[in-house]
Structure 1
Amino acid sequence: MQIAEASFPENLVTTETVARMLGKSARTIRQWAAEGVLPAVSMPCTRGYRYRPSEIDQFVSAYSVGPLASERG
């Protein structure tokens, strides 16, 4: 049985990948996902999260997120 490609329109990325993209720690990314700050797909089998690249792009566009963002206030 094959899963229809339409069921998965884009690849999901890991917490570690998003952390590198945003210049934040993996712990911060997981915390943002748990709090609903960062859109994420919950993965019950691993108790973790995965992220849609398009939603990460939207997040970055909407918020100033960089290595020094928290220091700017």
Structure 2
Amino acid sequence: MATSRMPLLRTLAVELDHVRPGELTLSMPADPAWTQQHGYLHAGAVATLADSACGYAAIACCRLTGTC
């Protein structure tokens, strides 16, 4: 489950930090290039991180428990 296989996650420098049944942690730096006009991290970047975490969690659950 390498995030480097996904171009957008590679662009956002997303890292898969921790995975085990029931737990998964992704992280990414708060790069100024990914902020909106007020300096906050753009919601699109946050949504991408959340969406990817959910997808990786589902894959991890299947692979680690053998149930899908």
Comparing both structures, which one devotes a greater share of its residues to strand? 2
Decide: shared fold, TM above 0.5: no
Greater RCO between the two (CA within 8 Å, min separation 6)?
A: 1
